[in-house]
Chains A and B, each alone.
Chain A
C-alpha cells in the first residue's frame, strides 16, 4: 500500500509546478482539480486497515468538493469576471518555477529534521505537505489576479490537510468534514467577492486595490 501512497504523494508535486509556471488560469484550475482528486484518493491508499465506510465517505466528499465543486465554482467566477490570464505577476513564471524548486528542496531538508512522532525516518508526506504550503504562499504573495490568490489559498490548505493526514490517519471524521466545510465557505465568499470586485472596478487585480488604502 505504501508504494501506492508514495506514488500519489509524488504526483501531488506536479500540480504545484503547473500552477507556478502557467499564466493561463484555466490550466491552474485544472491543476487544482487534479490536486483535489489525488488528495481524495490519498486516504484510501494510505489506509493500513481495510477501507471502511467512514474513509470512503471522506474520500468521496474530498473528491467531490476539492476535485469538482471548487474548481467548477472558480471557473464560473473566471468566466463571469472575464479574465483568462495572469498578467505581470510580481515574480515571473520562470522565476516562480525556480522558487518552487527551492521550496521543494527546502521541504525535503525540513522533513529530515522533522520526523513524525513514532518513526525515525523522514516522511515523504511531510515534505509534500510543506511543499504545497510553500507553493500556496508563493501564489498568494506573487499573483495579482484575485482568482489566483484563491487558488493559492486552496493549495495552502491542501498542504495543511496532507500534513494532518500524515500525522494521524484517524483524524475524527467530524474534524475533517469541518475543515472541508470551512474551505467551501471561504471559497464561496471569495468567489462572490471576486465577482463583486470585478463588477465594481472592471478588474480583479488585487494590486490595484491598494489604492483603496487610506
Chain B
C-alpha cells in the first residue's frame, strides 16, 4: 500500500467521522517531518510549510499544527495558557484540538500524552513518553541584537553568538543585572542558541536533561525546533554571573500556600500559582511536595551577594592593581612559520576590480610581495589609490577574490593560502590570529555600546565566559591605551576621535593576535591627538612580539612605526628598503615626493 493511498484512506475516514479537517494529511506529514528533523538537530530552527490555521498567526497556529500533526484520537491533550486551562485561549484551542482529533482532553498533567502550552511548563514533572508543545511568538533569539535575517542565519551557522554575551555584559555594567525577562536565551546541546518561547526563567531549567520531548513551533515565521529528552540546555550567562529565576521575597500562593511555584500577582496584591491545576492539587493533597522541591529551580533564586555589583572593582580607581594584567599580554610568544622567520608572508598578491557599467576595470594591486617577522613592523606607503589599502583589505578579508598567496605562521603552520579559505574561516581568523585597526573607528567598533563592551565582543568571540575576568582584561587593555577607566562603561559614541581610536587599538590587541594591521591609524585625527596615538602605538609595538603592517600615505607615520617599508604606486610595489634609508635617500621620484610631503 503506497503512502498516498494510506493518506487518502485517512482523509476519507476523517470525512466519515464528521469532524472538521483543519490540516490535511499531507500537511500533517510535512509537519511531522519537520519535527523529526528538529529532534535530530536539537535547537536548530527547521523551516516548514506552516499552513494558515483557524486561529490567527501569533495565537498558537504553530503549536496547533504540531499537536494536530502528532496527535490522534487515542491521545489525551492538556492545553494551558499562562499555566491556566481556564483562560479563553486555552479553552479555544482545546475545543479546536478535540473537535478535529476526536481525542480526549484533561487538566491533569499526569494523564496527558500531549501538553500544548503558551508561556508555561506545568509545575508537575513531565515523564518519558509525554510531549510538550510550546507555542512560539518569536523563534529568533538573535533578533534583539541583529535585525538582518541573513546575518542571524550566518551567526547560527557559524555558532557566532558573541553578541548575545555582549548584550548581557552591557546590561550588567549599566544596571547590575541581566534585563531579559521571559524568553531567556538558552544554548541547546552546546551548539544552537534557542529562544525557549517566552516561558518564564522559572521554567528554563526544566528544559535541561528532561525526560519528555519538547516541541517548539512558530507558525508565523514557519519554524519548528525541538529539545529531545536528555539534551543539555543551559541559560546563556557568564560563568561567574548566576542565572536568576523570578522571585519575590516572602511570597506564598494565596490559595494553596506553595512557596516553590511560579506565581502571578492579583489586583489585591496577593500572589497565586500560575499553574491552576497544580494549585488545586496541592490543596487536595494530591501532589508529592518533596518531589516538586527537587524539580523546582530553587538553586537559581537570586542572591544579591553573587551579583556583579557585590564584587568591588578597585582597579577602576587604582589601575596600578592591574599590573598583573600585562602578564597576559604576548611578550615571549613567537609565532613563525616552520623553518622560516616570518609570521605573515604575502606573495604575488593582486586584486582586479572588473569593469561594470559606470566604472572601468581597475587593477588595484598586482604582484605584491613581502613578509613580516614577529616584533617587526612593515610599512606600506603610497598615495591614495596606490593600492595599499586594497592589499590590507585582501589580507584581513574585507575583500575576497584576490590573486596570489597569503600565509600565516599561526594558521595551519603556514601550509594554507588563506585567500583560498571560506568567508567563515576568514572571519574566524580575525578572532585571534589577525587584527585590524581602521582609519574610521566606526568600522572596528560598535559606537552604541561601551568601551568595555567592544572589547568584550572580541573576548567572548574567543571563548571568554567569565565576567569578572573579562572586566579585568578590558580594564587592563583600556588602561594600557590610556583610556580613563571611569569612561570604561560609557558608550564609545560619546568619545572623541582620538579616544575612539585608542579603544579600537585595545580591542584589536584584546586576544593577542599574531598579526596586527593598521590602516591609516592616525589619519582622521588632529595633529596633536595623532601624535599621542602614534606614541602609544610605538610603545605597544615595542613591548609586543607581534607582526605589524602599517598602511599610510604619510611617510612620517611609516617612519615613526616601522623598520622596513614598501612603496606602492598604481597598484605595484616600486621600491622597498629599510624605512630609515628610504626616508633618508629615496631612489624613485615618486618616493621622493612622498618624503618631501612628510617633511613639509
Report whether chain A binds chain B.
Answer: no
Q: Which B residues contact A (CB, under 8 angstroms)?
A: none
Q: Which residues of A contact B (CB under 8 A)?
A: none
